[in-house]
Amino acid sequence: MAQTNILLETGTNELEIIEFYIDEEVEPGAKPYRAHYGVNVAKVLEIIRLPKVTGMPQTPHPCVIGTFNLRSRVIPLIDLSLWLGKPMARDETTKVIVSEFNKVINAFMVSGVTRIHRLSWSEVEPPSGYVASFAANNFTGVVKFPDRIVLLLDMEQIIWDLNPALAMKTERESAATAIPEPERSAYKTLVVDDSNSIRRLIATYLEKDGFEIVQDVNGQNAWQRLLEWKEAAVKDNQPLSSNVNLVVTDIEMPSMDGHTLCKNIKDDPVLKELPVILFSSLINDQLYHKGLSVGADDQVTKPEVGTLAERARRLIEERRG
């Protein structure tokens, strides 16, 4: 799939989503109900017609209907409708979205794909009310159009639920990365992620190494908190480090994304010395330059969570001299 100009821009608080749909079978002979969903363009490799699928003797869930060969790569195919508990009406227009994140390739079967939308993260609302009650871990946001609602799919969480071996682990990669006991201290760190489970996991992991954690659910909330901390430090004639030493932020978030949050921090004359770590499944060779251009001090993919504490500690200590 051709990458678009949005991937070359930085700090715009914009994203592109691919809108797709699932035609749900309501009852035999009845017109299917069309539900609309979306996923970040950055996670999509390509969109193809339904290929020849080879069944598997054992699968982690009935929604994993088999595998197919794509340019000498064997890729698992997930029937998204079965995962959502809404069986799909299949026909010759059925499409497959091939995705890659956290260096893993998977494919999702859907009824069809409509178009790409360029949006501001401020247009993406967190699931609330009725949507939140059934969304569980399947969706990260809601985009409202005049004639329909598009739910942003959390493909990452689905893959983790299907294959726990791919989920983040809090063990360090080796004994060499362990923080020596004499160096442990309460590093004040702001952790920003719209996923409650991931945010708590990061917080728990860092707290075990003596970090003092404050959590926020999106970049906008985090930015307001940072401004308050800055004002308090200036008012009390104290260094910013008396309130915060580090920011660890996801990239994909409603209201304000992590790239924009990082750019805001680095453009501020007081906050710019605050080290920022981007922590996301979207950090790959293609998008790594975006983090550099907004001034990120480090970029960690979610499979590398075992290195996070040591890298965070190093950045803080470098600032302390």
> What residues form DSSP beta bridges with 213?
189
Res 17 pLDDT > 90: yes
Position 186 scores a pLDDT of: 63
CA–CA distances in Å: residue 82 to residues 51, 77, 87, 91, 253: 18, 12, 5, 16, 26
Amino acid identity of 197?
A: S
Beta strands in the chain (DSSP E): 14-24, 33-40, 44-49, 64-70, 73-79, 95-101, 104-110, 112-120, 139-145, 148-153, 188-192, 212-216, 246-249, 276-279, 298-300
For the stretch 182-192, pLDDT in tens is 354 569 999 99
Strands 95-101, 104-110: parallel, antiparallel or unpaired by DSSP?
Answer: antiparallel
Tell which phi-psi region holds residue 29, choosing left (phi > 0), alpha (psi between -120 and 50) or beta. Answer: left
For the stretch 252-300, pLDDT in tens is 888 899 999 999 999 999 999 999 999 988 777 667 888 999 999 999 9
Options 2.40.50.140, 3.40.50.300, 3.40.50.1820, 3.40.50.2300; CATH for 168-320 is 3.40.50.2300
Q: In the structure, what pLDDT confidence band is assigned to residue 135 with cuts at 50, 70 and 90?
A: low
For the stretch 30-72, pLDDT in tens is 788 899 999 999 889 999 999 999 988 887 788 999 999 999 9
For the stretch 137-147, pLDDT in tens is 678 889 999 99
Options 2.40.50.180, 3.90.1150.10, 3.40.630.40, 2.40.50.140; CATH for 5-165 is 2.40.50.180
For the stretch 73-103, pLDDT in tens is 999 999 999 998 888 877 778 999 999 887 7
Res 179 pLDDT > 70: no
Higher pLDDT, 55 or 157: 55
Position 9 scores a pLDDT of: 58
Q: Please state at what angle helix 258-267 crosses helix 219-235, rounded to 10 degrees.
A: 20
Please tell me what DSSP assigns to residue 271: G
Position 87 scores a pLDDT of: 83
What is the rounded average pLDDT of the residues 236-245? 93
Higher pLDDT, 106 or 60: 106
Name the percent of the chain lying above pLDDT 90. Answer: 52
Name the percent of the chain lying above pLDDT 70. Answer: 86
Per DSSP, the residues of 4-19 read: -GGGG--SS-EEEEEE
Position 27 scores a pLDDT of: 76
Position 2 scores a pLDDT of: 42
Q: Extract the tokens encoding 282.
A: 């979207």
The domains of the chain are located at 5-165, 168-320
Phi, psi values for residue 282, rounded to 5°: -90, 0
For the stretch 295-311, pLDDT in tens is 999 999 877 888 999 99
Position 4 scores a pLDDT of: 46
CA–CA distances in Å: residue 61 to residues 56, 107, 141, 181, 291: 11, 15, 25, 43, 36
Res 127 pLDDT > 60: yes
Position 129 scores a pLDDT of: 63
